[in-house]
Amino acid sequence: MPKVSAVIVPYASYLRVYEPLAAFPEPERSHWARYARRPDRPSYQDELRRSLADLLPTPPVAVPVQESADAFVTEAGGVLYVCPWRTRLRGWQALGALGEELPVPVLDAVLPPLVRHQAAQDYERWLSRNPDARPWIRTATWEVPLDWFVLVTDEEREYDKGSGADGGAAPVLRYRTPMVQARRRVARGLRTLRESLDEGPLIDGLTDVGRWLEEFHPRSLVELDYGGLVHVLPAGDLAGDHSAADVAAGIEALREGDGEAAGEAYGRLMERWRAVRDRRSAN
């Protein structure tokens, strides 16, 4: 049996904001500066495993008792950037959304009503003391929301097919862009969509993402990471996945009034993600 640390926990994608170290107040800034020098920093899989492990006790732990002191760290242009996990805050927010995703009998079996009620009360008390709190990470299961692709371009796509061997490096597919570019693309995309389409999930989602981005330092980095979805998509499909290019082509076609080209771009996206949606339904 493989060790727990070697088990892959798949099926989630991530939208992350990395803020420059200077954007954090003391003493948090010093904490992250020390943290960045650690040689054993955990990965996104470690983060997800810890969250899932909390569901094993009886009764399950709906939200971590203590906030995580971990983060994702990267360096670019000589600047250190930090993306705190904030697992506890994200757990509360995810718990609030579960009622819309799961039937009540399933939800009660996973997290009993008493556990959810206690977590909701804890969140209300915490939020009254931290009204401006926001997560640095957004998570989506079994998909990459189309509005996330508006923030990036195909030129920013980074793909590594991995080693392919058992226990080897997993594939990686991600995009990373400066915050100023992400905000500009959101504004331009929203203008085109509102002029061309009725209000709907795409416009609502992009509006929400745009508001979230405004909460961060203007010199931050934005990262869209396929995360565990690389284990769902076949290698050939993953290598040929240029969803950001299709989203950009669709918006540009709408801007030019070319409904047929916009429909073709949308069709490519739907076809590409159909296999993932089918697997989600099967599970």
Per domain, the residue ranges of the chain are: 12-282
Q: Which two tokens stand for residue 261?
A: 């080209």
Q: Residues of 225-239 as b/e, b for ≥16 C-beta within 10 angstroms?
A: bbbbbbebbeeeebe
Residue 275: what pLDDT? 75
pTM, full prediction: 0.85
Residue 88: what pLDDT? 84
Compute the distance between CA of residue 95 and CA of residue 112 in angstroms, rounded to an integer: 12
Residue 109: what pLDDT? 78
Angle (deg, nearest 10), helices 44-53 and 87-101:
70
Q: Judging by DSSP bridges, how do beta strands 157-160 and 172-178 pair with one another?
A: antiparallel
User: For the chain, which residues score pLDDT lower than 70?
Assistant: 1-10, 48-62, 99-101, 163-168, 280-283
Residue 51: what pLDDT? 65
Compute the distance between CA of residue 253 and CA of residue 271 in angstroms, rounded to an integer: 19
pLDDT in tens, 203-260: 999 999 999 999 999 999 999 999 989 888 888 889 999 999 999 999 999 999 999 9
Locus of tokens 């997290």: 111
State how far Cα 245 lies from the chain centre: 19
Residues forming beta bridges with residue 233, ordered by sequence position: none
Identify the burial level of 61 via C-beta atoms within 10 angstroms of its C-beta, where 0-12 means exposed, 13-18 middle and 19 or more buried.
Answer: middle
Residue 213: what pLDDT? 98
